[in-house]
């Protein structure tokens, strides 16, 4: 029948109008990248907070539009379990015996994980313990959309009976939602008080409205108006599940969603039916292709969301038996291509099985099955793994967990969508050159060709300050000089070329000890003796952007490049740094990496290292601007605390703060005659730590005269961080965070214009108090 929006099917579904809404929806969708932080070392106090940014999703490349400021005064502590070595993909798995009961006490060697039929290494294994990260919460969704009043009342009666068991004392917190003809609502907030929850259910309470049909808008101000109540009721159920899961994605632990509603029928959320003529709208032509692509993105979105939110879905139905009740089984396999997408792939029973949950037989007595589902969900095992390299975006992989005991069955996510950026392959466009090869390029290239040749160069050994200055001689092109400075900074943590290291024999053990003692004595005098001083800090911000192809969004990769420059006044006072920032001069609104700690705090690390001589080994002699230098290598084990600030896990927390123990290694460079520390660099050992791949810091020092006295102060510093970004995936009006591609951030600091901070105070006397009128 023709409708106002175009040709409708028998359900009242307007395909043309839906296609237009999908197109608008894609244009309005918002993608946020909450950047991670550079790391700091306990008392070292090197802290970085990366600001969140919003990116508007476009067909080509996301463009920054709005910047959000992170507040570091309110931070959420992440539990220690969250910072152990983990795989990128996490699976919660329940194991049942032949009687359908959950099995506890299994070990890692009992499990075999198959990805597309191929054995996959289990990186982390953990059995549920009921701790913060392993807790279980329960969500009940009472779905009475288009149901007769007697069945709707029976749903509420069964839920109330379940809540009142055991004198109303619930073992897990329970949250209750309702999907009704008048909209989708929060009925009762999370609570373990079954009696109170039962009262809210019986009264059909509406604590909050999420979305409503058009004719109900006036009753619920602020609720999203959802036309699918009338045109396509099953979509309202998907919207409800998506809203619940995105809310739960920001909360710790596992969640079991008990969806009580219609079975496979021709009404409400049970209206998906593969054999019904009502769903035979056309997928032909360009509009049909757009609908298929959008449908495929929704299938991917729900697959990622349910696993990311750690949701297991169990479906119940009341008196909804049907000869076609199992026809959805043939849609359980994953959907690899948009052309194969069907609305039945989003039928709630299909999503339940794919999440590791169950579809219970239709019954009028649900209390026992509800308790059984919760008991099984309470005992589970968490496996993590790193997926294989994907050939293209949204590449479907089937998953299966086998047990060494054939009588046991595993219930977990049945598949996932692999992404190319889950791996971290080397950029084929990057040239890896030695310092000698770089020097040859600079001798032959001129002008624009030199800039082009240097745009994607990464060194395999360190470009020293002395060599950098010699290469700068004769380079007049400003862009070439800037490119060379960036290349040198990125190489700061590499080994020097062998020809640069002195061939002189190492000093004797006694001489090494003398130099280290001189360094310890030097630090004991220098750190307390630094005056309150001002300095100008010029910061150049650099960033490497990885390609992001996935979920209908693409941006191309960019090698490390300058993003902006910032001049700040740094006040060093009583061992602390106070920064007064000027405006940032860059071409984007993306907020840069922020660090502090280049003055006294980093020298605390050196003092700690010098107190444990076993951590130090002789390195080599090297030439510096002031003459020969002694290089010592150091390593510490689980002594400093790595401090991450920013959105370090895609768990919805905007400003979490994580403290972990990590090994460190680095170099300590000393002036042999005086023991003055002229360079310190540290590198964190973070193998297998998903949020951060590397977090390195180098500070070089030199003599500066301040108020007639010579002080050794920071002259240059390089901070280099590489880790995973966090991407927010939108659908409808809800969104959740997942891991994104790797990116690199680098700060290069230069300090100058040192002068002493002085303040004068005068007490004035002779004032006469005037009486109040």
pTM of the model: 0.81
Task: Give 457 or 140, the one with higher predicted confidence.
Answer: 140
The answer, yes or no, to whether residue 713 has pLDDT greater than 90, is no
What is the rounded average pLDDT of the residues 152-170?
94
Q: What is the pLDDT of residue 27?
A: 33
* pLDDT tens column, 592-603: 444 445 555 577
What is the rounded average pLDDT of the residues 207-235?
84
Element (H, E) at 152: helix 149-164
What is the rounded average pLDDT of the residues 297-313?
95
Q: What is the pLDDT of residue 658?
A: 63
The CA-atom distances, in angstroms, between 561 and each of 441, 557, 575, 727, 738 are 19, 11, 33, 21, 26
Q: What is the pLDDT of residue 600?
A: 55
DSSP secondary structure string for all residues of 184-224: EEEEEEEEEEHHHHHHHHHTT--SEEEEE-GGGGGGSTTPE
Element (H, E) at 159: helix 149-164
Q: In the chain, what are the domains?
A: 35-82+501-773 (no CATH), 89-128+387-422 (no CATH), 134-378 (3.40.50.410), 435-496 (no CATH)
Instruction: Let me know: does 602 contact 44? Beta carbons within 8 Å.
Output: yes
- State the Cα–Cα distance between residues 178 and 206, nearest whole angstrom: 8
The CA-atom distances, in angstroms, between 487 and each of 346, 462, 498, 681 are 50, 9, 19, 17
Q: What is the pLDDT of residue 132?
A: 62
CB atoms within 10 A of CB 676: 20
* pLDDT tens column, 544-555: 887 777 666 667
What SS3 state is found at 197?
helix
Please list, in sequence order, all residues whose beta carbon lies within 8 angstroms of the beta carbon of residue 120, skipping any fewer than 6 positions away. Answer: 113, 114, 385, 388
Residue 328 gets the label, from left (phi > 0), alpha (psi -120 to 50) or beta, of alpha
What SS3 state is found at 578?
strand
Instruction: Let me know: does 305 contact 249? Beta carbons within 8 Å.
Output: yes
For β-strands 52-56 and 656-661, DSSP reports them as unpaired
Residue where the block lists tokens 């079975």? 263
Task: Give 763 or 129, the one with higher predicted confidence.
Answer: 129
Burial class (CB in 10 A: 0-12, 13-18, 19+), 90: middle
* pLDDT tens column, 393-416: 999 999 999 999 999 999 999 999
Q: What is the pLDDT of residue 15?
A: 37
């Amino acid at each position: 029948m023709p409708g106002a929006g175009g040709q409708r099917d028998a359900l009242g579904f307007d395909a043309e109008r839906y296609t237009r809404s999908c197109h608008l929806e894609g244009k309005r969708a918002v993608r946020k990248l909450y950047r991670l932080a550079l790391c700091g070392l306990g008392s070292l106090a090197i802290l970085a907070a990366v600001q969140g940014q919003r990116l508007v999703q476009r067909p080509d490349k996301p463009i920054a539009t709005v910047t959000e400021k992170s507040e570091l005064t309110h931070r959420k502590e992440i539990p220690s379990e969250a910072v152990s070595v983990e795989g990128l993909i996490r699976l919660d798995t329940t194991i049942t015996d032949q009687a359908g009961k959950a099995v506890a006490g299994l070990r890692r060697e009992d499990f075999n994980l198959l990805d597309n039929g191929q054995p996959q290494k289990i990186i982390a294994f953990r059995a549920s313990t009921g701790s913060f990260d392993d807790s279980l919460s329960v969500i009940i969704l009472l779905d009475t959309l288009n149901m007769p009043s007697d069945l709707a009342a029976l749903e509420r009666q069964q839920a109330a009976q379940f809540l009142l068991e055991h004198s109303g004392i619930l073992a897990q917190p329970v949250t209750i939602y309702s999907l009704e003809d008048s909209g989708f609502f929060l009925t009762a907030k999370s609570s373990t008080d079954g009696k109170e929850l039962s009262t809210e259910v019986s009264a059909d309470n509406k604590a909050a409205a999420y979305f409503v049909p058009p004719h109900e808008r006036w009753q619920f101000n602020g609720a999203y108006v959802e036309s699918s109540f009338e045109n396509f009721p099953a979509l309202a159920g998907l919207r409800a599940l998506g809203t619940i899961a995105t809310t739960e994605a920001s909360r710790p632990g596992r969640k079991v969603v008990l969806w009580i509603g219609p079975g496979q029928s021709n009404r409400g959320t049970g209206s998906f039916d593969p054999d019904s003529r009502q769903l035979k709208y056309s997928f032909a032509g360009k509009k049909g292709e757009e609908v298929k692509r959008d449908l495929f993105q929704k299938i991917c979105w729900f697959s990622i969301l349910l696993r990311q939110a750690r949701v297991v879905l169990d479906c119940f139905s009341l008196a909804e038996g049907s000869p076609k009740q199992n026809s959805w089984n043939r849609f359980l396999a994953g959907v690899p291509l948009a052309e194969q997408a069907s609305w039945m792939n989003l039928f709630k029973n299909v999503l339940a099985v794919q999440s590791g949950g169950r579809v219970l037989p239709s019954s009028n007595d649900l209390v026992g099955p509800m308790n059984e589902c919760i008991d099984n969900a309470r005992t589970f095992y968490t496996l993590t793994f790193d997926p294989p390299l994907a050939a293209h975006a949204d590449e479907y992989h089937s998953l299966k967990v086998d047990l060494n005991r054939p009588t046991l069955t595993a219930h977990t996510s049945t598949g996932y969508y692999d992404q190319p950026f889950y791996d971290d392959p080397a950029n084929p466009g990057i040239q890896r050159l030695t310092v000698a090869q770089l020097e040859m390029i600079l001798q032959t290239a001129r002008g624009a060709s030199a800039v082009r040749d240097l745009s994607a160069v990464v060194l395999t050994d360190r470009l020293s300050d002395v060599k950098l200055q010699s290469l700068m001689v004769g380079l007049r092109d400003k862009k070439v000089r800037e490119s060379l400075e960036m290349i040198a900074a990125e190489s700061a943590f590499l080994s020097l070329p062998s020809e640069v290291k002195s061939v002189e024999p190492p000093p004797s053990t006694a001489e090494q000890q003398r130099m280290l003692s001189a360094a310890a004595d030097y630090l004991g005098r220098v750190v307390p003796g630094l005056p309150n001083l001002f300095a100008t800090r010029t910061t150049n911000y650099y960033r490497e952007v990885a390609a992001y192809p996935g979920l209908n969004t693409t941006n191309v990769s960019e090698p490390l490049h300058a993003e902006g420059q910032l001049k700040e006044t740094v006040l060093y006072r009583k061992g602390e740094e106070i920064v007064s920032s000027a405006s940032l001069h860059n071409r984007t609104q993306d907020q840069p990496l922020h660090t502090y700690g280049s003055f006294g705090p980093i020298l605390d690390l050196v003092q700690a290292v010098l107190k444990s001589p076993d951590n130090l080994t002789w390195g080599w002699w090297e030439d510096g601007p002031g003459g020969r230098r002694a290089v010592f290598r150091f390593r510490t084990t689980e002594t400093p605390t790595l401090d991450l600030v920013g959105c370090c896990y895609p768990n919805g927390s905007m400003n979490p703060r994580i403290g972990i123990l990590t090994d460190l290694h680095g170099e300590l460079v000393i002036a042999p005659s005086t023991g003055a520390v002229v360079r310190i660099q540290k590198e964190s050992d973070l193998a297998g730590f998903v949020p951060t791949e590397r977090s390195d810091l180098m500070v070089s020092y030199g003599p500066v005269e301040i108020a007639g006295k010579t002080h050794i102060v920071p002259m240059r510093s390089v901070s280099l961080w590489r880790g995973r970004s966090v991407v927010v995936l939108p659908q409808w009006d809800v969104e959740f965070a997942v891991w994104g591609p790797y990116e690199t951030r680098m700060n290069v600091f230069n300090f100058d214009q040192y002068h002493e901070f002085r303040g004068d105070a005068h007490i004035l006397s002779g004032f006469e108090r005037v009486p109040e009128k």
